[in-house]
Structure 1
Amino acid sequence: MTTPGQLMRAEIAEQPTVLANVLASYGAHLAPVVARLRSHDTRAVLLVARGTSDHAALYAKYLIETRIGLPVGLVSTSTYTAYDTRPALDGVVWIAVSQSGGSPDLVESTEKARAAGAMTIALTNADGSPLEEAAELRLPMLAGAERSVAATKTYTTSLLWLWLLVEGWAQRPLDAAAGVPDWVAASLDRPEVADVASRYRFVERLVTTSRGFAYPTAREAALKLMETCYLSAHAFSGADLLHGPLAMVDEDRPVVVICPDGRGGAALEPVLEQLHARSADVCLVAPSEVRGSAALRIPLPSGMVEELAPIAQIVPLQQLALQLAVSRHHDPDHPRGLQKVTRTT
């Protein structure tokens, strides 16, 4: 008999090893895709994904816009499926991200994008999946089997692969990623997570927020808390939070702020000031060099590259979702009504 959260706990703990394995073996998979990208006359990039993978795609959007300098859009798949739209996609790079590679809407929209002239790339964790078959080029996540419904290691491996892809495309050195497994290992089993889980055990509503490369972390953290703990978690960029939603924040609605060391962290300073002025119950997830007033703090490793930091930032928040769910007598491995593969059309 398995204990609640056993699978999720094990898969969270596997992440340093899985990420190290990706760094040891990405070359043969990445090289032909990067070569094709460099020879392609690209005018725009479209990203398509669902759920957790959608947050990985949002991360890639920030990377491509800042590192390659191309316009990037997140695809509304229903325009290709429900509405059967067939736009001209010559000069477009289409990147599909999916753990299972089995969602019909991702497969159908990728098939149509390829037929419409896009260069299509599939990043999946399932060899021979329908999405891989639909795309021209393929990248394997190499995360290994993930059995918990709540995705953890497939998310962090997706981020690493997308960073490698974009940096390789930009013809930049890839050695900055060498520290990622150690950063993730240092983010595991932080004792402060238990303190946050205890304080938030009976919370029914909270907010997550960040900016820049860490904003997808806020989105993914909110999703993990919703699907495992069944609470109402709203994710906002720091800028959007100040444009209205701040009105709902008070001492009874906790705010989890993911604050990187870098430009994204600097952009969050006005947000932290406003939260402090409202006496908000803030949990700051940040390295020690980031200062800020907060009731709780989950420390992150120092010295992380801002663009790579999201791979480690999410880890203590995965563990927060796990611990909070178990404390509420839920099983995060098998959230009610959810399946590992969601089939949308």
Structure 2
Amino acid sequence: MARRLRPGQLMLNEIHEQPLVLERVWREEGGAVRALARRLRAQRPRAVVLAARGTSDNAALYGRYLIETHLRIPASLAAPSVVTLYGVRVKLRGMVVIGLSQSGRSPDIVRVIESARDAGATTVAITNDPRAPLARAADEVLVLHAGAERSVAATKTYTAQLMLLSLLVAHTAGNSRLIRAHEALPEAVARALQTAPAVADAAALLQRARECLVTSRGYNFATALEAALKLKESSRVVAEALSSADLLHGPIAVVERDFPVIVVAPPGRALGHLWGVLRRLVRRRARTIVLSSAARLLAPATVPVRLPDVAEEALSPHVYIVPLQLLAHHTARLRGLDPDHPQGLRKVTRVL
């Protein structure tokens, strides 16, 4: 007789699988990534459009930052309703359109890829199932190699999507340093899993919170968005993600004494700005959970979560999301919830 799993055990298991998943992506999909990168270098697309929903949409936002900073071409996020509700065929000839869906079965993303291909774009599917409708609709397919993801909350498929996007951009840009830096990611993610004691303290801070803010900037704005999504769907915390730049344009007014704010602050171009934001939050007596490897950022935090150093800022989202996934899990369990089966949610959302 099969042993009954504890609530949240699937999500926790899949969070801990991520170092092995990233190793598999590096080992199994490297050839396909290099071949696609050669095609893109030859094609020299004038722009890239990324189509996704939910967690995959947060990965797509990371891809946008990565493409624009390393390939220096415009990138945008598709609005699937333009195709599915309004029936418009967007002029995409000469562009690349990337559809991201862990299941490959999101009808609206499949439709966007089909429409883009008909419009003359080069289309790419990034999915965990190479036989899914999304894979069949696209010219090229990159596979996540994450294995079955049984928890409703996506974790290992998210970091696999980040890995494929960063590898693809690194190879297309011919950036050998960034390519080599991927080899260290499985170990960095394994070390990020060791933040569990600090994450437990952070979960205790959020246990009775009704709402919180999550903030970062640059590559890790996607991390803030994904963390907020995980907290909402798993823990029922009304978590809002804001770029730290946008936070200062008014929303910081909601931060009063003891208001919880999560700050994602890896070393890099945004660190100085995030230090200034954190100082303002501390002056407002916010209760801060700070993720960083920089001692200066960790010192004033209510709950500091020390992360390992990541050689390239562009790869820090792969590592910094891990303790936030653990935070969503632990907070849900403290609140008596089962993050494997959030109320009213299913693994595959079918929207047109």
Q: TM-score range by the shorter chain?
A: over 0.9
Q: Which of 282, 289, 302 is the equivalent residue of 2:288? A: 282
Query: Pairwise mapping of residues 128-207 of structure 1 onto structure 2 (< 5 A)?
Result: 128-173=131-176, 174-190=179-195, 191-207=197-213
The amino acid that maps onto 1:339 is: R
Is contact 2:267-2:294 (8 Å) kept? no
Deviation, structure 1 residue 91: 1.3
Q: Which of 181, 198, 218 is the equivalent residue of 1:212? A: 218
Is contact 1:57-1:97 (8 Å) kept? yes
Given the alignment of the two structures, is residue 262 of structure 1 paired with residue 268 of structure 2, yes or no? yes
Give % identity.
47
Moved more, 24-33 or 173-182: 24-33
Given the alignment of the two structures, is residue 22 of structure 1 paired with residue 29 of structure 2, yes or no? no
Q: Match of 1:307, SS?
A: helix
Is contact 1:46-1:75 (8 Å) kept? yes
Is contact 2:290-2:297 (8 Å) kept? no
For structure 2, the 5+ residue unaligned runs are: none
Deviation, structure 1 residue 338: 0.4
Q: Distance in 2 between matches of 1:195 and 1:88?
A: 50
The amino acid that maps onto 1:130 is: P
Alignment match, 2:83: 80
Structure 1 outlier segments of 4+, above 3 Å: none
Is contact 1:262-1:306 (8 Å) kept? yes
Q: Which of 285, 295, 307 is the equivalent residue of 1:300? A: 307
The amino acid that maps onto 1:147 is: R
CA RMSD of superposed structures (Å): 1.1
Alignment match, 1:311: 318
Alignment match, 2:327: 320
Deviation, structure 1 residue 206: 0.3
Alignment match, 2:123: 120
Deviation, structure 1 residue 145: 0.7
Cα deviations across residues 84-135 of structure 1 (Å, max 9, x unaligned)? 1112211111011110110110011110011001111000001211001111
Q: Match of 2:117, SS?
A: helix
Q: Match of 2:277, SS?
A: helix
Alignment match, 2:66: 63
Higher helix fraction: Structure 1 or Structure 2? 2
Is contact 2:198-2:305 (8 Å) kept? yes
Q: Distance in 2 between matches of 1:81 and 1:25?
A: 34
Given the alignment of the two structures, is residue 243 of structure 1 paired with residue 264 of structure 2, yes or no? no
Cα deviations across residues 140-199 of structure 1 (Å, max 9, x unaligned)? 011111000000000011101100000111111111111100110001042111111112
Q: Match of 2:297, SS?
A: coil
The count of residues paired between Structure 1 and Structure 2 equals 345
Q: Distance in 2 between matches of 1:252 and 1:303?
A: 31
Q: Name the CA shift for 1:143/1:290 in 2 (closer, same or farther; >3 Å).
A: farther
Deviation, structure 1 residue 289: 4.2
Deviation, structure 1 residue 295: 1.0
Q: Distance in 2 between matches of 1:11 and 1:138?
A: 23
Q: Distance in 2 between matches of 1:303 and 1:329?
A: 34
Is contact 1:283-1:298 (8 Å) kept? yes
Alignment match, 1:338: 345
Q: Name the CA shift for 1:301/1:77 in 2 (closer, same or farther; >3 Å).
A: same
Is contact 1:143-1:157 (8 Å) kept? yes
Q: Distance in 2 between matches of 1:123 and 1:341?
A: 16
